[in-house]
Amino acid sequence: MTVSKAQAPFLSALGCYVIWGFMPLLFMGQAAIGFDSAEILSHRALWSVLFAGGLVLLASQSGQVRTALSQPRTLAWLALATVLIAFNWGVYVWATTHQATLEASLGYYINPLLNMVVGLWLFRERIDRWGWVAIGLAAVGVLFQALALGRPPWISLMLAFSFGAYGVIKKRVPVEAQAGLFIECLILVPFGIAYVAWLQMAGQGHGFASAEGFGWALLNGPATVLPLALFAFAARRMPLSTMGFIQFLAPTLQFCVGLATGEDFTVLRGVSFAFIWLGAGVFAAAAIMRARAARRALAEAAQPV
């Protein structure tokens, strides 16, 4: 089956969110044999650059990498994107290895609705009344989550805002997906190498201590690069609001992982997620109705006069 040019961004977005949905299992597996969140993050940086470089070669984008590295403005934007994604990685890895996957999943429920607001503000994308209803329901959900936790859901908010800002930069920077991702990994790799080397010299590293540890560490490369490459490809070719709709898949899978691993799920947390899910349902229903209306309009326009 061949994939059309129009289908490719949608399938890329779908693939990246499925991978992200099950990503907590990778970090939990490493934590189970002794990796802490800083070591996991360092191995993500270390191995990602190799796989990202392979994608650049496969896509024949070496010239774009050289061009981007020679343009200070583009490089500065990519450096900012790197800071944002590294911060996002760090918070997420810590959350999923400290029984906070449910709170992390809430962040990725918030992010699609945040994308709608950003799309309106920066890219003049329209939000209809049902979109605003969805955003309002999500805001109520966040409030109930704060009541359930006894504090603002900082993990959720940090993940939502950092990844939202990263998506905006990836949409605006004129660099193809693989080239931009490789440069981001290139910026991160010295920090990863330095920390992994320090751990090994101190006898505290796990990535090179056994075949099992090395296998888990190596998996960080493709698990990090593949969904980010798919995301970057889709983000430059789809409206942020559409990306936001598909993104609900990832936190749903993360939520299931959190429940399956025994995280605390109180009544208030249930109410919080109910409002979030209701907001997602309103947005999804509105998107389906808009798509049907657009198809009807096209069919009517095609009718002979």
Q: What is the mean pLDDT of residues 188-202?
A: 93
- Is 297 inside any structural domain? yes
Mean pLDDT is lowest, of 82-86, 230-234, 246-250, 289-293, for: 289-293
- Count of CB atoms situated within 10 Å of the CB of 57: 11
Query: How many domains does the structure of the chain reveal?
Result: 1
User: Any residues with CB less than 8 A from the CB of 135 and at least 6 apart, and which?
Assistant: 113, 116, 117, 127, 279
Q: In angstroms, rounded to a whole number, what is the distance separating the alpha carbons of residues 49 and 181?
A: 9
Which pLDDT score, from 0 to 100, does residue 305 have? 52
- Is 2 inside any structural domain? no
> Which of the 8 DSSP states describes residue 206?
-
Model confidence pLDDT, tens digit, residues 124-179 = 667 778 778 887 888 888 888 888 888 888 998 999 889 888 888 887 888 887 88
Which pLDDT score, from 0 to 100, does residue 133 have? 86
- Is 155 inside any structural domain? yes
Side-chain-side CA neighbours of residue 143 (13 Å): 7
Check if the beta carbon of residue 240 is closer than 8 Å to that of residue 125. Answer: yes
Mean pLDDT, the chain, as a whole number? 85
- Is 45 inside any structural domain? yes
Question: Which pTM was predicted?
Answer: 0.83
- Residue-number span of the structural domain to which 124 is assigned: 7-302
Check if the beta carbon of residue 90 is closer than 8 Å to that of residue 37. Answer: yes
- Is 231 inside any structural domain? yes
Among candidate residues 221, 102, 118, 238, the one with its CA nearest the CA of residue 166: 118
- Is 183 inside any structural domain? yes
- Is 1 inside any structural domain? no
- Count of CB atoms situated within 10 Å of the CB of 277: 17
CA-angle at 136, arms to 87 and 247, nearest 5°: 45
Give the H or E element holding residue 296.
Answer: helix 267-302
- Is 158 inside any structural domain? yes
